[in-house]
Structure 1
Amino acid sequence: WIVNGRVLFDRNEYVAELIDRLNTFPFAERKLKIGLEYGKLIRRYVEGKAFFEANQFLDAYNAVVHALHHLARIEVIDRGFHPETTVWSQVRQMEPQVYKLYSELIESHESLEKRLELLFLANDFLIHSKAEIGSAHLFEVMKEKDIWQFGELLQHHDLKHFTQDLGVMLDYLTEKGLINVCQIETKGQAVYHRGY
Structure 2
Amino acid sequence: MTPADHADEEVLQAMDAISAQQLANRYSSKEYETTAEKAAADRQWTFGHVIVDEAQELSSMAWRSLMRRCPSRSMTIVGDISQRSVAAGAGSWAEVLRPYVRDRWRMAELTVNYRTPDEIMSVAADVLAEVSTDATAPRSVRSTGVPPWRLAVSAATGWPTRWPARCRPSWPRSARAPSPSSSRRPRWARWPWRSRRLCRRLSWHPRDLSPEPR
TM-score, normalization by structure 1: 0.22
Q: Which has the larger radius of gyration?
A: 2
TM-score, normalization by structure 2: 0.21
Considering Cα pairs closer than 8 Å and 6+ residues apart, tell me whether 1 or 2 has the greater RCO: 1
